[in-house]
A and B are shown apart, each in its own frame.
Chain A
């Protein structure tokens, strides 16, 4: 019973995680929800484990549970990867905003000058003329 409770809490956490990801990563979220629901069912109906494993051609019930856990783990890894991608997108937007705000824009036709006149851009790309080297 204790192990069942612990596993239920863990799988409940996976369910919650899947639910929070439904809007951003629907496919990954549904995979988490399905695997965790299946896991909960097997935890509370262990007698069915071997029967279902046999139907799926796996053989032993313990193997079925292990495969299910591997699926959940891989899915969580994928979810973490997607989260990292979203953070990368945020970083890119921030870096782009900074880069555009500090863009060097030549306002004269003298190329190769040591300190040419430049205009700096606001974050939205609008131009506000300032002298390079005289900016705060």
Chain B
């Protein structure tokens, strides 16, 4: 079913070596009528070819920079295209395209600028224990460092208004970008809301996801960023 709306919604899909899942993800998004930009982050497989065959736009980093850099590039592209709403959507198949309409609707009904997906508001979900503990620790860290009271701080499904996206100054190229986005949401003082979304865990998405050991690098990156302008 295609979305009938006068608003321009751009979906930003950062992708690095996602030839296994990208076609399916793009097909579902296009079926819903969204404009999709894939940011190919220096992939070495057929990600770029698949994206150019299906997406509305493909922006290709000449070298691998990291998911944070890919998201920032996608946001810059979508803003330049005049997007009214921008959604970030992982390319590994863990998100559902059906959740996007609800996020946009929530942005409108609550007059918020940021709709942040939460897997923990969507009823009972099969979240692996280690991941649940890691995400719980991340929510406490986020509350302490930004003051944001959230249930899920590392969910790749987010929707922004144009004003919200333009207010984000993203400089973390790699793993710390999710924390940085929340830090920027807090700094902007623009209204935000959490929206229940479903995560479909697969062996593939779990293997691609962050590990407990990454948390140390994230903390170091965030600390280093505080030390210089």
Contacts and interface: CB of A to CB of B under 8 A. Distances in A.
Contact of B61 (A24, A95, A111): A95
A25 B61 contact: no
A103 B61 contact: no
A111 B30 contact: yes
A120 to B, nearest CB: 11
Contact of A124 (B56, B80, B224): B80
Interface in A100-136: 100, 102-106, 111-113, 116, 121, 124-127
Interface of B: 30, 39, 51-63, 65, 69, 72-73, 76-77, 79-81, 171, 173, 224-225, 227-229
A87 to B, nearest CB: 12
The 5 tightest CB contacts between A and B, nearest first, are A125-B80, A104-B58, A25-B228, A112-B53, A105-B57
Interface residues of A, number: 33
Contacts of B58: 103-104
Interface stretch (A6-14, A32-40, A59-67, A77-85): A77-85
Interface of A: 23-25, 27-28, 78, 81-82, 85-86, 88-89, 91-92, 95-96, 98-100, 102-106, 111-113, 116, 121, 124-127
A102 B53 CA distance: 16
A95 B57 contact: no
A92 B52 contact: no
B228 A99 contact: no
B12 to A, nearest CB: 13
Contact of B224 (A85, A99, A113, A121): A85
